[in-house]
A and B are shown apart, each in its own frame.
Chain A
């Protein structure tokens, strides 16, 4: 990233995305930024712009870079601000922490690999593919050690699934706190995963009849481990080596990870090195001390694996405000660990009245589903909400409903309806209704 470009972008953002920016000051930023997303359509049509009609743009009057100038490729310089971000005050350091996907700048159900949210328990290990091994043992007939070459020989499957950290939205249990789509909802991403069914590997080693549980463990410094019921492992779990068509990124578990569709993200163990079959769960630290949900009466819920249905409006949002009255397309994402999204309703008046949004194909099981609804904004204050209903009939709850049952200290599994307050000037704020 060119430092001068960073400076320009931060200058733009510090003036506020929806405040009027003088054309003269804009000119000083250079031609590369004139098409910036930070500017509304009116500003982009500035008649003095050196790149807009009637002028011919500088890039139209010069020779571009050749093939393999960027042998791997990267986003346009103007998109440099579209990155995973963290909340520095949230955790003691970045090694056991979380980063959030910039949902406000994403446009479909697939998360680009470089923007997939991160969750580490002991930092990101840089695993050498040719030395990595997967051991499968315990209550099995023939314990095995598989290399990556071995794993690639098994029949392969590709599936599109989301992964969501159950702490997504966890900072909002008490009250609206973070004015951001990215920080309130960005612990979810969705990709096409390619690998081998876990059931194929388990049948290959031979499951002893006493086996009921499966422990999965990573090769990271945390040796991160979780227990899973055997039934789920045989149902739809995948041991994957590829994400959106290329090898997994180190951030997502290179060279091998588990994907447990529809369940809380941390059971989808990254850098997967060991699978052990047993007759009882292990009650590891990550399923007792953490990833358990404390209730108001002092009891806790454990093994709360399922991601309940959830949805959120991704436009407008605090990062993407409105620019004057007129016709807009409300856009959003919905998902459920229970299967498919059946319906999404949208309210612009704080939940008094609802309209069903259009669901966009493909509507896949345990994957993000895109919805849209045209909306003519009259310039008056509005309260936008979306509400998903999944194929089991489950209806996304309000935060007030969840709080009444679960209090404010359960950290995980906040799948409540998000309310965005739209003010008369088009700015958008994260709020909670009584």
Chain B
């Protein structure tokens, strides 16, 4: 990743490009715009918790039992009483062992690699109509409840900043975090690339009735 020489090189390139006009920021605070962020201001917005080690998780805690109550009130309408998902809202539970299937089921239990990410996401984005309105304790409780629904933690589990990073998610080790692409290679052939006899239509969208209309007013098409 980045190193000081690299940044210096970028900075120099920028200064050369700007030569004769105005020097770019050579020092922090060169422009001097804006206000210094105070610790209180930062604390209000500094909401992130890191997935891998839970850094940023706040004080507080929540039990599976408390999670049952909060979940019924705040989550069940969309995600179903036991995390099964209502309508097309996401399932939170199940799908263990399905990731190689033709129709895999990606849920917190079957797919998510890090438990603190669950706390972070509920805290920042849920419940959808009123995001970031739950207390840290209630978010811990919901995290404990959803992990328990997935049989990842026992019913006596208490979620807090110490316990969550230690939870080993079932799919934890199945992510490759460096992009292996380009994973295809081809020479751009120009003529006689395929025997015309081998060119065959394998599938067509014609007649599938999945396409909303593309003229006139917006379509409200729903699945048949």
Verify that A and B bind, or say they do not: yes
- Given A144-B37, A204-B29, the answer on whether A285 and B174 have CB atoms closer than 8 Å is no
Question: Is there an interface contact between A433 and B202, defined as CB atoms closer than 8 Å?
Answer: yes
Q: Which listed residue (B125, B174, B185) contacts A121, Cβ 8 A? A: B125
Q: Is A294 part of the binding interface, using a Cβ–Cβ cutoff of 8 Å?
A: yes
Q: Is A308 part of the binding interface, using a Cβ–Cβ cutoff of 8 Å?
A: yes
Separation of A223 and B196 alpha carbons in the complex (Å): 52
Cβ contacts under 8 Å, A176 to chain B: 203-205
How many Å from the CB of A389 to the closest CB on chain B? 6
Q: Is A292 part of the binding interface, using a Cβ–Cβ cutoff of 8 Å?
A: yes
Interface of B is mostly: loop
Q: Is B214 part of the binding interface, using a Cβ–Cβ cutoff of 8 Å?
A: yes
Question: Is there an interface contact between A222 and B45, defined as CB atoms closer than 8 Å?
Answer: no
Q: Is A126 part of the binding interface, using a Cβ–Cβ cutoff of 8 Å?
A: no
Count of inter-chain pairs, beta carbons less than 8 A: 318
How many Å from the CB of B65 to the closest CB on chain A? 25
Q: Which listed residue (B10, B78, B201, B210) contacts A432, Cβ 8 A? A: B201
Q: Which listed residue (A104, A207, A209, A273) contacts B45, Cβ 8 A? A: A273
Q: Is A188 part of the binding interface, using a Cβ–Cβ cutoff of 8 Å?
A: no
Separation of A136 and B37 alpha carbons in the complex (Å): 8
Cβ contacts under 8 Å, B205 to chain A: 176-180, 318, 429-431
Question: Is there an interface contact between A212 and B1, defined as CB atoms closer than 8 Å?
Answer: yes
Separation of A264 and B27 alpha carbons in the complex (Å): 32
Question: Is there an interface contact between A102 and B194, defined as CB atoms closer than 8 Å?
Answer: no
Cβ contacts under 8 Å, B12 to chain A: none
How many Å from the CB of A366 to the closest CB on chain B? 16
Smallest CB gap from B97: residue in A: A298
Q: Is B14 part of the binding interface, using a Cβ–Cβ cutoff of 8 Å?
A: yes
How many Å from the CB of A353 to the closest CB on chain B? 5
Smallest CB gap from B114: residue in A: A283
Can you pick out 9 interface pairs between chain A and chain B where the beta carbons lie within 8 Å of each other?
A: A144-B37, A224-B125, A282-B120, A284-B120, A285-B117, A352-B199, A353-B193, A405-B184, A431-B206
Q: Is A300 part of the binding interface, using a Cβ–Cβ cutoff of 8 Å?
A: yes
Question: Is there an interface contact between B35 and A144, defined as CB atoms closer than 8 Å?
Answer: yes
Q: Is A6 part of the binding interface, using a Cβ–Cβ cutoff of 8 Å?
A: yes
Smallest CB gap from B203: residue in A: A175
Specify which of A17, A183, A352, A383 lies most central, judged by the most chain B CB atoms within 10 Å of its CB.
Answer: A352
Question: Is there an interface contact between A300 and B176, defined as CB atoms closer than 8 Å?
Answer: yes
- Taken residue by residue from 382 to 399, chain A's Cβ proximity to chain B (1 for < 8 Å, 0 otherwise) reads as 010001010000110100
Q: Is A52 part of the binding interface, using a Cβ–Cβ cutoff of 8 Å?
A: no
Instruction: Please provide the chain B residues from 112 to 137 with a CB less than 8 Å away from any CB of chain A in the complex.
Output: 112-114, 117-118, 120-121, 124-125, 128, 131-132
Separation of A318 and B7 alpha carbons in the complex (Å): 49
Question: Is there an interface contact between A177 and B36, defined as CB atoms closer than 8 Å?
Answer: no
Cβ contacts under 8 Å, A35 to chain B: none
Cβ contacts under 8 Å, B50 to chain A: 278, 280, 282-283
Smallest CB gap from B125: residue in A: A222
Q: Is A349 part of the binding interface, using a Cβ–Cβ cutoff of 8 Å?
A: yes
Cβ contacts under 8 Å, A434 to chain B: 198, 200-202
Separation of A131 and B215 alpha carbons in the complex (Å): 39
Q: Is A9 part of the binding interface, using a Cβ–Cβ cutoff of 8 Å?
A: yes
- Taken residue by residue from 58 to 72, chain A's Cβ proximity to chain B (1 for < 8 Å, 0 otherwise) reads as 000000000000000
Stretch binding the partner chain, chosen from B98-106, B144-152, B154-162: B98-106
Smallest CB gap from B179: residue in A: A304
How many Å from the CB of B131 to the closest CB on chain A? 4
Q: Is A354 part of the binding interface, using a Cβ–Cβ cutoff of 8 Å?
A: yes
Beyond the given pairs A6-B217, A153-B31, A204-B28, 17 more chain A to chain B contacts, judged by CB atoms under 8 angstroms and listed by A's residue number, are: A9-B216, A86-B218, A88-B222, A122-B128, A135-B45, A178-B211, A203-B28, A204-B29, A217-B48, A221-B128, A230-B1, A284-B51, A294-B106, A301-B176, A395-B186, A430-B205, A432-B201
Question: Is there an interface contact between A394 and B2, defined as CB atoms closer than 8 Å?
Answer: no
Smallest CB gap from B116: residue in A: A283
Smallest CB gap from A408: residue in B: B102
Specify which of B106, B190, B215 lies most central, judged by the most chain A CB atoms within 10 Å of its CB.
Answer: B215
